[in-house]
Structure formats: C-alpha cells, structure tokens
Structure 1
Amino acid sequence: MALNNVSMALLTVLAYDAVFLLILLAVVSLLAGTKRAAFAVMKRNFVGYFSNPTGYVFLCIFVFLTSVAAFWPYEFFNSNLATLDQLNYWFPLIMLVFIPAITMSIWAEEKRQGTDELLLTLPADDFDIVIGKYMSAAAIFTASLLFSQISTFTTLAILTEGALDVGLIFTTYLGYWFVGLTMIAIGMIASFLTGNLTVGFILGALFNAPLAFASLADAVSPSKRFAEWVQGSGIARPFDDFGRGVISSSSVIYFILVAAVALYACMVLIGRRHWTGGKDGNQMAWHYVARVVALVVFTIGAVMMFRSRDVLRTDMTEGQVSSLADATKQLIRNLDDDRPIVIDAFISNEVPELYAKTRYELVNLLKEFRAEAAKRNRTIEVNLYDGIELFSEDAALAAERFGIEPVTRMFREKGAYTQKQLILGAAFRSGLEKVTVPIFEYGIPVEYELVRSINTVASGNRKRLGIVATDARLMGGMVMNGMQMQRVEKHPLIDELSKQYEVEEVDLTAPVSPDMYDALIAVQPSSLDPQAFDRLVSAIQAGIPTAIFEDPQPVGASYITATGAPKQAPGGFMGMGGGGPQPKGDIRRLWNELELNVPGSAAMQGMFNPELVWQQHNPYPNLEAANELWLFIDEAAGGVQEGEALSDENEITSGLRQVLAILAGGVYAKKDGKLTHTPLLQTGPKSGLIDAQTVQQILSGGTSLAREIQGVNPRVPVAMAIEGPGAQSAGDSPESKDSEEPSGTSGGIKVVYVADTDIILPEFLLIRADPDQISDMRFQFQNVTFALNTIDWLTGDTSFINVRNHEPIFASLKLIDSTKEVATSEVRFRSREFQTQFDEAIREAQEKIDTELQSLREEVEQLREDQADGEVPQSVLQEKLTAFQIKQENQQRTLAVRRERMERERDQKIRDVRRKADQDVTAIQNQVKTLAVALPCIPPLLVGVAVFALRRLRERENISKARLK
C-alpha cells in the first residue's frame, strides 16, 4: 500500500511538471515562430552547455547542495514535517554559487572566443540576443531544478509513505524557479560587463548578494523601519509565500518586474556600442542611466502597491495549511479601522518536535493575517520575532512588556529525557485592550487562539458569562468533602473562557434578569438550595441561555453531590457536627420545564436516582482504568452512522471526532413536547442503562459490571440541545411565585443539558494541551472543544466554532514515525517484561523468607503457649523472640539489598533497550540522509562521464593514428 501511495504521489507531481513544461514549451514555440534569431541563440547556448561535461559537474553540485540543505540538518527530522524549510533557508546561498556559474559565460565567453562580433552581425536586434541568452540560461536552470525536484520529492514521498503535500512541494519549487529567473537576469549584467569568466562569476555573485542577504538587514541596521524596507526589497519576503504553498500575485509581480529591469539593463549594455565613442556618447550614457533608475523607482513603487493590495492569493497546499477559515476572514473584514491591532509574536530558535507543527502553523497564520488585512485595507500590524535566543533583548522584551517568558517542558530527544525551555507566545493589543497567550500549546488549535484574541481586543466589549455557584465551585472556594472543609482551586476552564468572555460568579441570592448575562453555566444545579434552584429555573424560563451539567455519579470531584444523594451539612468544629442533610432543589422540576425524560427511580427523602449509561466500546485498549461506564462517544463504534454519535445537526458537535463521558446518565426528550430537542452525544448500538444502586455495588467491589449488564438499549443520548418557547412550569413552588422573582413566562428557552460533569474535568484541558503525555496512546478527546462550542452556541457567537473546526493537515515523516513506534513498542514490551521478572523475583524472595521464618514463628507461638501454662520461663521466650527479630531483620536487610540490586539491573536493562531503540531511529535517519544526498548525484555524474567520453571519441576521429601515438 505504501509503495502504491509513493507511486501515486510521484505521478501527481509529474503531472504538475508536465503541465508546467507544456506552458513553457508553448512560450518557446512562440519565440521560435516570431523571433528566430533569439531561438537560435537559445538553442545554441542550451545545447552547448549540456554538450560540455562541465555543465553536468555543476548540475551534480547543485543537486548535492540542495539535498544536503534539505535533509542533512538535524532540524528536518526534529520538526518531523515533510516540508522544505531547511532548503528554503539555505537556497539563496546555493543560488549565489549556481546562478553565477550559469551566467558567467553568457557574454564573457563570447568575448573571450571572439564570437561576440558574429552574434552582433546577425540579422537580429539587441532584444533578440538578450532574450535568447536569457532563455537559454533559464532553460538550463529549469532542467537542473526539475532534476532536483524529482530527487527531493522522491525522498519525501518515501519518508511520508506517499502522504505528501504535492501542492506545497510543487509551489515551493515554483518559487525557486522565479528566484532563479530573477537572479539569472541580474547575473547577466555582470557577464555583459566583463570578458573574464572568473570576474563574471564574482560580479554575478556580488550583484545578487544584496537581494539574497536583504533578510538579514535587521542584524546590521540600527533603524527598524529602514531594516524592514530593506528586507521587503529582497527575495526572501516574496519567496516566503511560495515556500508556504501560496501563489500570490504580489510575489509573481515582484520577480517579473525585477527580472525585466535587469534585462533592460542588459539591453543597454549590449547596445552601448551604438552610441559610445560618438559626440553624444556621454549624454546618451546619462540618458540610459536615468532610464534604468526610473525603471527601478517604478518597480519599487509597483511592488509596494501590489504588496499592499494582493489581488490573488491561492493556497496550493492539499491540507490548506496556509489558509484562513471563512469565519476568520469575516472577522478581519468586520474589524474597525479606527482600532488598529498590533500582534507581537515571540518564537525561540529551538522548538522541540512536539511543538514544531504549532510553530509552523503559527508563523503561517500570522503571515496570512497580515496579507488578508492588507487585502481588506484593515490595520493589523504583525511583529514576528522568530528564532530569538532565550536571553536576547527580544526575549527580555517579551517577558518585561507582555509577560511571555520561557516555558520549561520535558522532552525525549537523542536518546535522553531533557528539560528544554522554549518561547512560543503572542500578545495582542488594540487601544487599552490587551490579551496575552503565554504559550501556544501544541494540542490547541492555533487559529482559534489567534482569532479569539484578536476579536477580544478588537471588540472592546466582551459578552458576560455567569457561573452559578453550586457545589462544583468552578470559581474556586471552600467545599465540604467528607467531614472536612477542602479548598478547591479555580477550574482551568474558567481561565479558558476568560480569554473570550467577561466571567463572574452568580450566587442566585437574588433574581437574574435576561439583560444581566448572555449565558449561564450551572454545574450540578441539583446541589442548589430550593430558593436558588427556583431562581435558576426562572432565569431559564426568562430566556437566559444556560449550559447545564448534571451528573448522577460524579467521579472526578468527590465533593460534588450526586443527583440522587442527600447534600451533606457543613461541618462544625474539627469537622464534626452538621445537623443532618441540607435541602436541595427538585431537579425534576427542571426536567419538566425542559421536557426531558430521565430514566431512573425514586430515592430517599423525595429525591430521584437517574440510571447510568454503559457502552461496550473502547478505542484505547491500553487504557486499563476504562470500563463499560466510560463512554467513548465517536463514530468508530460498530453500527454508528456518520453524524449520529456526534450530531451533525447542531454546530456544537458538527465536525467533532470524539468525546469521553464517565459514569454519565441518559436523557431523552418527552413525546409531544413543544420544545425542539437535538441529541448532541449518543452511545452506539452496544449500550444500555443500569440503575444507580447497582453501580454503587460495582464501584465498591461487591459485584462486576459484566455480570450486571442486562439487555441492550442502543443509542442513549447523554447530552441534548433544547430550544423553543418556554411554558409555565407545572411544578412551580411557592418560592418561585414570590413577587421578587421574574414571571414564569418564558422568553424562549435555549439550553444545553449534559448528563455528566466529568465531561469537563480539568484533566481534559491538560490532555487537550498535551495529547502525547501518555506514551502508550494519543488521546483524541475533544471534551474542551465540546464545552467551548456549547458556550459559543448559547451566546450566539458561533463564528469561533467554525474556526475551531478548521484543522490544517500536515504531512509528517511516517517512515520515521513507524520506526519510532516500533522502537517504542519494543521498549514498552521489554520494560513490562523486566518489571514482571523483577516482581516475580521479589515475590519468590519474600516467600522464601516467609518459609524460613515460619518454623521459627511456630516455635515462638508454642513457647508463648507454654509460657502461659508456666512450663517455660520468660527468659527463654524472650531469647527466642530476640533471635526471631534478629533473623527477620537480617532477612529483610538481605531482601532490601537484593531489591536495590535488582532495581538497578532492571533500570539498566530498560535504559539499554531505550538506547537500542534510539540508535535504531538514529540509524534510519542517517541512512536516509546518506541515500538522499548521494543517490541524486549519480545520474548526472554518469551522464557527464558519458558526454566526456563521446566528446573525446569525436575529437580523436579526425586525428591520424601517428599523431595519437
């Protein structure tokens, strides 16, 4: 299968190349039909270059240098991305060697051989000579570039097992082609100035050096504005679009205009024979200098104009890596011109492999933000500090001004676990508003973080989100856990929501009107006292959108009272006292208002115990803690149709892949209700319900889950979106009819009901930020995205949902990944084997000690019985006890020494296995490097040797044998 994928990828890029060559062939055919002299010059130079073995030597050097630059740097395998970032960095330097090697002989060789006069006497004008020479050099460069592309692409296709972004690689090489055409035109100026090949090579490199090194202007210029202007005039910035897979009109226009100006200068140089030496020679010289200067000024103005108005931008990447979501573009269009936005992004020079994709996506998106803003005439200033040192002035600026400091993370690289510091953050400013993202965690969508931050500082006014104060204590505080008070830290989800909303706690000591909050979050509302609970129901009736998380059996937070359990009274002194259970609101009143049917049974004190949901589906077999009460909601469960487990009828879950609910309840819509119910999360066909008391017995170890599962109730909803006109609740309590409460008449109900609080455990935010924190598996849980989508849907700000769902696809080095996976599996298997051997040896040693001590223990017991009967004196018993204790201590010391020695042996064996695994990965990387660099050089070298041999044979054909001797 992998071989077929590689073949298909190669055929695809060859199809791209065929279309490109057909276009070039059409241009050459047009030239041959209209400019015969130019075509003749082009054909002569092109054939002459490849008829000489020297041309193949330069081709071999070019392919060698591009392969070394692309695959030899450590950063290529460290980033684990199938891109040409390393080659992009070194390509200008390679071109400073290769392009002068092509252009140095364009005119200097003609002068050296005296054939320049012959060319100038042809029935052709100066344009024919210059364009013929230029197109011959361009054809030579194109052939060389195609050879490099095929060799590089083949290597990447093998490394990715065919899952390569063909559009990205093709567009990058198209950018190389435009760079080459521009540098060839400039190099031709050097060749027209001299008749010496060496001088022509040196001048060609010098003339092209300013464009190649313009990107380094900030390192030598004290003026930031001047440095930015110089950087924009070089080839790095217009090529950057091509290197990211984007074809932009501004970049194409830049290369065409610069090449056109250089070619005009060549025509001036070749045409100077017409006016030098005449009486007006000096005046004509200044006249043409003025023309060239005017063209340069025109080019600069045109480049700046098109750069600020980039008419066409096409993302050619297959994974849409360099594209913005439609919602993001809409946000930029809606920005206020009077509130300019400044983005300061800071990225350290060393970014570990786990964060390589995040860094790549962050840089791409920031540049696209800048381009889209310029296209829409919106003011977004992007200051990208990329590749900074941890102790540089830029790093100090990030820390002092924006609070973005180096973050320490543990990584395994080059065979060892090491702590590394990295900077990967950004600050967003607009007026007095400021938002800082200290670090872009690699598991969090980058575009979402950017868009949310920009929208927050741009709008100025945030929507208000009310967190209902329940036993869950999302805002932090003191709770009763067991017989003691426990302090709960603020839930990390609150920090996540605070980046977008104005979040505050609501204690429900007074009525809540619809104009106070845009949405409410109520986690375990059944724990509220009856008055506060009635006010929550009234707020829902009044039309305040509300997210409800009600759990029949909370797992992650033991201090949260279950739906059917009595609420514990506050503890007294030293955790004692209390006075009995506290009153709770009747959750069934809320269910009636929302027209929900929750399966369950009546409980003590007039409460209700919802049944729990089970499901036989676990996509993580190595997750030993999971059982049938862990509900993995995804479409991988057998018999689940697309858009069924995670509903595609609602924006909240449309596009999500997997959500995990733990010990969740079921929730159905009542028949013939007035409200519209949309099941958001549903189990698969192998699922059902189990009563709460049985679950308690299972959790306490009294019975097994497999024994208690009876019958199948497929597709049980555990989350529901509810919309529609409100109705007067049939279960209104006297408190709800108090004159201070809002009327029970609803302004329209909009609620998301989730029968689980564990779905928003803090651990899911950690998993979201670091999906690879457990080496055995890569979690795909999108619980946090589900929760954020829920709040956005309730507040009506659904644009962020679309941004979260826009996930670019990156091509990774699957061959290296599979090697790493095999190595990791071997390490895991051998480590478990060593641990099993260790445990078995310790168990056997402990049993041996117990056996040896058993006889002595029996003697001690017998002496105790005899001593109690008066048959044995106390001194004899004490002597035997002392001997027993001494022997026991000696045995335990011996066991401790043996345990320590075996632990060292076990750890050493594990280290050896890991070292061997790392060596295997390094070996395959080194093998790829060697083959990728060496193999592409062989074909041009063989062709060069064959051309040299044929040339020598032709030279010897007309020489007599006597002279050959």
Structure 2
Amino acid sequence: MALNHVSMSLLSVLLYDAVFLLLLLAIVLLLAYTKRAAFAVMKRNFVGYFSNPTGYVFLCIFVFLTSVAAFWPYEFFNSNLATLDQLNYWFPMIMLVFIPAITMSIWAEEKRQGTDELLLTLPASDFDIVIGKYMAAAAIFTASLLFSQLSTFTTLSILTEGSLDIGLIFTTYLGYWFVGLTMIAIGMIASFLTGNLTVGFILGALFNAPLAFASLADAVSPSRRFAEWVQNSGIARPFDDFGRGVISSSSVIYFLLVAAVALYVCMILIGRRHWRGGKDGNQMAWHYVLRALSLVVFTVGAVMFFRTHELGRTDMTEGRVSSLAPATKDLIQNLNDDRPIVIDAFISNEVPELYAQTRYELINLLKEFRAEAAKKNRTIEVNLHDGIDLFSDEATLAAKRFGIEPVTRTFREKGAYTQKQLILGAAFRSGLEKVTVPIFEYGIPVEYELVRSIDTVASGTRKRLGIVKSDANLMGGVTMAGMQMQRIDKHRLIDELAKQYEVEEVDLSAPVSPDMYDALFVVQPSSLGPAEFDRLVTAIQAGVPTAIFEDPRPVGASYITATGDPKQAGGGFMGMGGGGPQPKGDIRRLWDLLEIEVPGTAAAQGLYTPDLAWQQHNPYPALEAANELWLFIDEAIAKQSGESLSDESPITAGLKQVLAIFAGGVRAKANSTLKHTPLLNTGAVSGTLDANSTAQIMNGAATLAQEIQGLNPNMPIAMAIEGGDGAAAEEGSDNETQSNANRGIKVVYIADSDIILPEFLVIRADPKQMELRLQLQNVTFALNAVDWLTGQTDFIDVRSHQMNFASLKMIDARQEQANQQVRKRSREFQKEFDEEIRVAQEKIDTELQALREDVEKLEEEREDGTVPQSVLQEKLIAFQIKQDNQQRVLNVRRKSMENERDQKIATVRREADRDVTEIQNQVKTLAVVLPCIPPLIVGIMVFASRRLREREHISKSRLK
C-alpha cells in the first residue's frame, strides 16, 4: 500500500513537471519561430554543455550539494516535517557555486576561442545573442534542477510513504528556478566583462553575493531600518513565499524585473563595440549608465509597490499550511486603521521536535498576517526574531520588555530524559492594550492564539463569563470534603478562558439577569443548594447561555459530589465536627427544563443516580489504564456507526477525538419543543451500566462482560440545546429577573466533568506526556462550547482551521516500533522484578516461620506459667532482630534489583534510539549517494563516446 502511495505521488509530481515543461517548450518554439538566430545560439550552447563530460560533473556536484543540504542537517529529522527548510537556507550558497560555473563560459569562452567575432557577424541582433545565451543557460539550469527535484522528491515520498505535500515541494522548486533565472542573468554580466573563465567564475559569484547574503544584513548593520531594507532587497524575502508553498505576484515580479535589468546590462556590454571607439563614446557610456540606473530605480519602486499591493497570492500546498482561515481574513479586514497593531515574535534557534510544527506554523502564519494586512491596506507590523540565542540581546529584550522568557521542557533523547530551554512566544500591542503569549504550547492552534490576541488588543473589550461556584471550585479555594481541609488550585481551564473573556466567579447568592453575563459556566450543578440551584434554573430559563457539566461519577476530583450521592457537610474547624447530608437541588428540574432524559435509577433520599456509558474502543493500546468506561469519541467509531462528533454543530465540526471518562448518557424527550443537537455519541458497540453493575466492576467483583445487559449504541453524552418561546421567568423569581424577556434557552449539556480535567491541558502543553502521541481535543471542545454560547463563532472557525503537515511516516513507524519494543521489554523487566521480590519475600517468610512458631508456643506456655517471662522476651528480641535483618537484606536486594531493572530499561531505550538513528543515517547516505550515480554514468558514457570519435580518424600507428 505504501509503495502504491509513493508511486502515485511520483506520478503526480511528474504531471506537474510535464505541464511546466510544456509551457517552457511553448516558449522555446515561439523563440525558434520568431528568433531563429537566438534559437540557434541557444541550441549550440545547450548541446555543447551536455556533450562535454565537465557538464555532468557540475550536475553531479549540484545534485550532491542539494541532497546534502536537504537531508544531512540534524534539523531535518528533528523537525519530522517533510519540507525543504534546510535546503532553502543553504540554496543561495549552493547557487553561488553552481550558477557561476554555468555562466562563466557563456561569453568568456567565446572570447578565449575567438568565436565571439563569428557570433557578432551573424545576421542577428544583440538581443538575439543575449537572449539565446540566457535561454541556453536557463535550460541547462532547468535540466539540473529537474534532476535534483526528482531525486529529492523520491526520497521525501519514501520517507512520508507517499503522503508528501506535492504542491509545497513543486512550488519550492519553482522558487529555486526563479532564483536561478535571476542569478544567471547577473552572472552573465561577469562573463561579458572578461575573457578568463576563472575571473568570470569569481566575478559571477561576487556579483550574486549581495543578493544571496542580504538576509544577513542585521548581523553587520547597526541600523535596524537599513538592515531591514537590505534584507528586503535580497532574494531571500521574495523566495520565502515560494519556500512556504505560496505563489505571489510580488515575488514573481521581483525576479522577472531583476533578471530583465541584468539582461539589459548584458546588452549594453555586448553592444558597446558600436560606440566605444567613436568620438561620442564617453557620452554614450554615460547615457547607457543613466539608462541602467533608471531601470534599477524603476525596479526598486515597482518591487516596493507590488509588495504592498499584491495582485494575487495562491497557496499551492495540499495541507493549506500557508493560508489563513476566512474568519481570520475578516478580522484583518475589519481592523481599525487608527489602531495599528505591532506583533513581536521571538523564537529560539533550537526548537525540539515536538515544537517544530508549532514553530513552522507560527512563522508561516505571521508572514501571512503581514501579507494579508498589506493586501487589505491594514497596519499590522510583524517583527519576527527567529533563530535567536537564549542569551542574545533579542532574548533579553523579550524578557525585559514583554515577559517572554526561556521555558524549560523535558524531552527524551537517546534513551534518556533531558531538560531543554526554548523561546517560542509573542507580544501584541495596539495603543495602550498589550497581550503576551509567553509560549505557544504544543497542541494549541497557533492561528487561534494569534487571532484571539489581535482581537483583544484591537477591540480593547471582552465578553463576560460567569463561573458558577459549586463543589468543583474552578476558581480555586478550600473544601472540607472528606472531613479534612483541602486546598484546591484554580483550574487550568480558567486561565485559558481568561485569555479571551472577563472571567468572574458567581456564587448565586442573588439572581442572575440575562444582561449580567454573556454566558455561565457551571460544573456539577446538582451539588448546589436548593436556593442556588433554583436561581441557576431561573437564569437558564430567562435566556442566559450556560455550559453545564454534570458528572454521574467524577473521578478526577474526589471532592465533587456525584449526581446520585448525598452531599455531606463540611468538617468544621480543624476537620472536627460535621453533620449529616446537606440539601441539594433537584437536578431533575433542570432536565425537565431542558427536555432531556438521563438513563438511571432512583436512589435514596429522593436522589437519582444516572447510568454510566461504556464503549469497546481504545485507539491507544499502550494506554493500559484505559477500560470500557473510557469513551474515546473519534472518527474511527464514526466509520462504524455513522455518528460520533457531530458535523451539524460548529462546536464539534472539524474535531477528531475527545475523551470522556465515566460519563453518563442523555437523550431528548419525545415530542420535545426545544432543538437538541447531539455533540458526542458513543459507537456501535456501547451501552449503559447501572450503579450496582458499576460498583461490582470497580470493586473487581465482576467484569464488564458479566454485567452487560445489552447494547445501547449511539448514546449521546453531550448535547447543544436551544429554543424557547420567550415566556417569562418562573413564578416566584425576583422582579428583576421577571422584567427580562426570555431570550430562549441556549445550553450545552455535557454528562461528564472529567472531560475538562486539568490533565488534558497538561497533555497538550507538556511533551513529556506525549510519548503516546495522544490527539485529544477536549480543551478545544470546551472552548468551542463557550464560544458558541457567547456567539463568538469566528473563533471556533479559526480554532478548527487545522493545518495538515506531511510528516516522515517511515521514521515515525520505526520510532513507534521501537517504542512498542521498549514498552514490551519494560513490562517483562517489571514482571521479573515483581516475581523476584515475591520469591525473596516468601523465602524470608519461610525462614521466619519456624521462629514465629517458637514465639507463639512460648507465649502459650507463658500463659500456663511453665516458661519465665525472660525466656519469652529473649525469644521475641531474637525474632525482631532476625526480622529486621531479613528486611534490611530484602531492602538492599530490592534496591539492587530496581537499579538493575532501570539499567535494562535504559539499555533497551538506547538500543531503540540507536536503531532509529541508524535508519536516519542510512537515509542520509542513500539520499546523497544514489542521485549522483546516474549523472556520473552518463558523463562516463559521454566521455567514452568522445574518445572513440576522436580515435576514429587517427591511424593505428600513432595510437601505439
């Protein structure tokens, strides 16, 4: 299957190349028809280059250098992205060697051989000769570039198992082609100035060097503005669009104009024979100098104009990695011109693999923000500090001015965990408003972070979100559950919400009117007291949008009272005191208001215990803690049952996987007047368990197979509920609430609170947790729900705009095999460790058993008065000493075995990493060596053919 994908990708790129070559062929045919002399010059130079073995040597060197630059750097496998970023960096330097090698002989060789006069006497204009020479060099470079592209593409296709972004690679090589056309035109100037090949090579490299090294101007120029101007004048800035898979009009115009100016200078140099020796030679020289300078000024002005007035930009990438979401473009379009926005982004030079995609996405999007703003005439200034050192001036600026400091993260490299620091943050300013993102964490949509921050500083206002105080204590506090005081930290999700909303805690000691908050967020409303619960129901009925997380069996926080459990009184001072069950609100009143049914059974004290949903689906076999009560709602179960993550609601449209733990079920009542949209549904092999069955399974007294009563597939565990006829608030509520017209119910009901466990935020932020490569989107689901309730659906669109990056699947598969082997061997080592400890413990118990029996016998005789107390005491001391000695021996043995076990596991990890490194080294070697073989073979054949032709007309006597 992988081979088929590789073949299809190769056929696709060949199709791209075929279309491109047909366009070039059409240009050549047009030249042959309209400019016969130019075509003859082109054909002569092109055939002459490839009929000489030297041409194939240069081709071999070019392919070798491009392959080394693309695959040999450590960053290629470290980033795990199928891009040509490393080659993009080194390509200008490679061109400084290869292009002069092509252009040095264009005219210098004609002068050396004396054939220049012959060319100048042909019935052809200076333009014909120059354009013929130029197109010959361009054809030579195009052939070399196509050869490099095919070899590079083949390597990447194999590494990605055919999942390569063809558009990105083709566009990148199209950018290389434009760079080559420009540098060839400049290199030809050097060849027209001298008749020495070596001098022509050196001058060609020198003339192209300013454009190639302009991107390094900030390292030598003290003036930042001048350095930026120089950087924008080089080839790196216009090529950057091509390197990211974007064809932009400004970049194409830049290369074409620079090449045109250089070709015009070539025409001046070849045509100087007409006026150099005349009486007006000096005047004509200055005349042409002014012409050339005028063209340069025109080119600079045109480039600057089209850079700020894009005629068009096309993202050719298949994963749309260089495109902004429509909602993002609308945001930029609606920005206030009077409030310019400044973005300062800081990225360290070393970014670990797990942050490589985030870095790539951040840089891509910032550049697209800048381009989109320029196209829409909006003021967004982007200051991108990429590749900075942790102790550089830029890092100091980031820390002192914006609070962006190096962040320490733990990574596993070469079989061991190590801590590294990185900088990956940005600051947003507009007027007096400022927002700082200290680090773009792994798993957080980068575009969403950017849009949210820009919108905050641009508008200066935020919507209000009320966090209802309940047993969950999301805002932090102290609980007396369990008869002892327990400190609860503020939930991590609150910090995430606070980036977008004004977050306040609501204790429901007073009624909540619809105009107080844009939405409410409540976890475990069944734990509220009757009065507070009534005010919540009244607020929902009055039209306050509310996110409800009601969990039948919370497992992430023991202090949260389950739906069907009585609420116990607090422990009082120092954990003393207490009392009986406290009154709770009747959760069934809320269910009736929302017109939903929750499967379950009646419990004591008038309570109701919902059933738990189960499902047989685990996409992570290595996650041993997971069982049937862990509900992975993803695309895999959608293929089985047709339902999982609803596409009908913007909350879940575009999501791929959400995990609920010990969740309940919820269904709409028959003949309901409200609109119910199931958001999360279990799969085809799923059902529900009542409280007794759940208790039996959790206690180990039964298994799921024994307790299953039957299947209940496609059970919703989350719903979006909206509707209502504008009726007044409930009778008996406050006058303020009654005065507000009912805006209709708008609720997101989730039958699980563990779906927003803080661990889910940790998993996406801490790579140490990501060895299993969990793709859980619980946090995104919760944020989408709040945005839908507050009407900020644009943020949902941006957050769901997933960019698909091509990764090195072959290396990933080998890495996963290595990880599986490590996990398998680790379990074996742990099993051996447990078995040896058990045997050692049994041996100690056996050795102590005889002594224990003697002590018991003496105790019995002591009671009868036949044994003195001193004898028994002596025996007890001996027993205690023996037991302590044996325990110390066991502890020493345990520590030794633990060290041995850990060493074995570390050895297995090193071996696994060594295997992956060996594969990477093999890929590097083959990617560099194999592409060089075909041009070498062809070069040897050409050399042999020439030698044979040379020997044909030589007598045999002279060959001896």
If the length of structure 2 is used for normalisation, what is the TM-score? Answer: 0.97
How far apart are the structure 2 equivalents of 1:633 and 1:127? 68
SS at match of 1:487: strand
Matched, 1:238 2:242: no
Matched letter for residue 713 of structure 2: P
SS at match of 1:429: strand
Instruction: Decide whether the 8 Å contact of 1:405 with 1:438 is kept in 2.
Output: yes
If the length of structure 1 is used for normalisation, what is the TM-score? Answer: 0.97
Instruction: Decide whether the 8 Å contact of 2:404 with 2:438 is kept in 1.
Output: yes
Alignment of 1:495-894 (within 5 A): 495-637=495-637, 640-642=640-642, 644-701=643-700, 703-726=702-725, 736-739=732-735, 741-742=737-738, 746-770=742-766, 773-775=769-771, 777-894=772-889
Matched, 1:202 2:228: no
Alignment of 1:293-304 (within 5 A): 293-304=293-304
SS at match of 2:557: coil
- 1:790 Cα deviation (Å)? 0.6
- 1:823 Cα deviation (Å)? 1.5
Matched letter for residue 271 of structure 1: G
Q: Residue 939 of structure 2: which of 938, 944, 958 is its match?
A: 944
Question: Relative to 1, partners in 2 of residues 1:754 and 1:857: Cα closer, same or farther, differing over 3 Å?
Answer: same
After superposing on structure 2, the runs of 4+ consecutive aligned residues of structure 1 that deviate more than 6 Å are none
SS at match of 2:247: strand
How far apart are the structure 1 equivalents of 2:737 and 2:288? 87
Matched letter for residue 719 of structure 1: A
SS at match of 1:773: helix
How far apart are the structure 1 equivalents of 2:784 and 2:539? 21
Q: Which residue of 2 aligns with 1:364?
A: 364
Q: Which residue of 2 aligns with 1:410?
A: 410
Matched, 1:901 2:900: no
SS at match of 1:435: strand
- 1:705 Cα deviation (Å)? 4.1
Q: Which residue of 2 aligns with 1:41?
A: 41
Alignment of 1:179-328 (within 5 A): 179-328=179-328
Instruction: Decide whether the 8 Å contact of 1:347 with 1:423 is kept in 2.
Output: yes
Question: Relative to 1, partners in 2 of residues 1:402 and 1:145: Cα closer, same or farther, differing over 3 Å?
Answer: same
- 1:424 Cα deviation (Å)? 0.6
How far apart are the structure 2 equivalents of 1:44 and 1:658? 62
Question: Relative to 1, partners in 2 of residues 1:189 and 1:738: Cα closer, same or farther, differing over 3 Å?
Answer: closer
How far apart are the structure 1 equivalents of 2:249 and 2:192? 31
How far apart are the structure 2 equivalents of 1:880 and 1:782? 64
How far apart are the structure 2 equivalents of 1:501 and 1:231? 39
How far apart are the structure 2 equivalents of 1:639 and 1:155? 33
Out of 534-543 and 189-198, give the one that drifted further: 534-543
Instruction: Decide whether the 8 Å contact of 1:130 with 1:263 is kept in 2.
Output: yes
Instruction: Decide whether the 8 Å contact of 2:719 with 2:749 is kept in 1.
Output: yes
Instruction: Decide whether the 8 Å contact of 1:771 with 1:779 is kept in 2.
Output: no
How far apart are the structure 1 equivalents of 2:712 and 2:810? 43
SS at match of 2:655: coil
Q: Which residue of 2 aligns with 1:426?
A: 426
How far apart are the structure 2 equivalents of 1:508 and 1:462? 22
Q: Which residue of 1 aligns with 2:388?
A: 388
Matched letter for residue 680 of structure 2: L
Instruction: Decide whether the 8 Å contact of 1:545 with 1:749 is kept in 2.
Output: yes
Matched letter for residue 401 of structure 1: R
- 1:743 Cα deviation (Å)? 5.1
Instruction: Decide whether the 8 Å contact of 2:250 with 2:303 is kept in 1.
Output: yes
Out of 362-371 and 811-820, give the one that drifted further: 811-820
- 1:418 Cα deviation (Å)? 1.4
- 1:635 Cα deviation (Å)? 3.8
- 1:212 Cα deviation (Å)? 0.2
Q: Which residue of 1 aligns with 2:11?
A: 11
Residues 44-90 of structure 1 show CA distances to partners (whole Å, capped at 9, x for unaligned) of: 11111111111111111111111111111111111111111111111
Matched letter for residue 97 of structure 2: V
Question: Relative to 1, partners in 2 of residues 1:774 and 1:34: Cα closer, same or farther, differing over 3 Å?
Answer: closer
How far apart are the structure 2 equivalents of 1:289 and 1:740? 83
How far apart are the structure 2 equivalents of 1:738 and 1:310? 59
SS at match of 1:482: helix
How far apart are the structure 2 equivalents of 1:657 and 1:493? 20
Out of 385-394 and 683-692, give the one that drifted further: 683-692
How far apart are the structure 1 equivalents of 2:957 and 2:744? 110
Matched letter for residue 527 of structure 1: S
Residues 133-163 of structure 1 show CA distances to partners (whole Å, capped at 9, x for unaligned) of: 0001111111111111111111111111111
Question: Relative to 1, partners in 2 of residues 1:828 and 1:673: Cα closer, same or farther, differing over 3 Å?
Answer: closer
Instruction: Decide whether the 8 Å contact of 1:635 with 1:641 is kept in 2.
Output: no
Residues 806-835 of structure 1 show CA distances to partners (whole Å, capped at 9, x for unaligned) of: 111111111211221222212211121112
Residue identity over aligned pairs, in percent, reads 80
- 1:245 Cα deviation (Å)? 0.9
SS at match of 1:520: strand
- 1:700 Cα deviation (Å)? 4.5
Instruction: Decide whether the 8 Å contact of 1:680 with 1:719 is kept in 2.
Output: yes
Q: Which consecutive residues of structure 1, in runs of 5 or more, have no partner in the other structure?
A: none
How far apart are the structure 2 equivalents of 1:290 and 1:426? 46
How far apart are the structure 1 equivalents of 2:757 and 2:75? 36
- 1:738 Cα deviation (Å)? 4.3
Instruction: Decide whether the 8 Å contact of 2:629 with 2:661 is kept in 1.
Output: yes
Out of 905-914 and 261-270, give the one that drifted further: 905-914
Matched letter for residue 12 of structure 1: S
- 1:268 Cα deviation (Å)? 0.4
How far apart are the structure 2 equivalents of 1:897 and 1:580? 49
Alignment root-mean-square deviation, CA: 1.8
SS at match of 1:563: coil
Matched, 1:469 2:469: yes
How far apart are the structure 1 equivalents of 2:880 and 2:168? 75
SS at match of 1:868: helix
How far apart are the structure 2 equivalents of 1:595 and 1:716? 16
SS at match of 2:204: helix
Matched letter for residue 653 of structure 1: T
How far apart are the structure 1 equivalents of 2:602 and 2:900? 58
Out of 289-298 and 152-161, give the one that drifted further: 152-161
- 1:97 Cα deviation (Å)? 0.6
SS at match of 1:467: strand
Q: Which residue of 2 aligns with 1:163?
A: 163
How far apart are the structure 2 equivalents of 1:801 and 1:51? 60
Instruction: Decide whether the 8 Å contact of 1:108 with 1:194 is kept in 2.
Output: yes
SS at match of 1:650: coil
Question: Relative to 1, partners in 2 of residues 1:661 and 1:868: Cα closer, same or farther, differing over 3 Å?
Answer: same
How far apart are the structure 1 equivalents of 2:321 and 2:152? 21
Matched, 1:98 2:98: yes
Question: Relative to 1, partners in 2 of residues 1:906 and 1:613: Cα closer, same or farther, differing over 3 Å?
Answer: closer
Question: Relative to 1, partners in 2 of residues 1:913 and 1:197: Cα closer, same or farther, differing over 3 Å?
Answer: same
Matched letter for residue 881 of structure 2: I
Residues 403-441 of structure 1 show CA distances to partners (whole Å, capped at 9, x for unaligned) of: 111111111223432111000111111111111111111
- 1:862 Cα deviation (Å)? 1.1
Out of 282-291 and 542-551, give the one that drifted further: 542-551
SS at match of 2:447: helix
How far apart are the structure 2 equivalents of 1:39 and 1:322? 39
Residues 235-275 of structure 1 show CA distances to partners (whole Å, capped at 9, x for unaligned) of: 00000011111111111110000000000000000000111
Q: Which residue of 1 aligns with 2:487?
A: 487
- 1:626 Cα deviation (Å)? 2.5
Instruction: Decide whether the 8 Å contact of 1:589 with 1:729 is kept in 2.
Output: no
Matched letter for residue 599 of structure 2: P
Matched letter for residue 56 of structure 2: Y
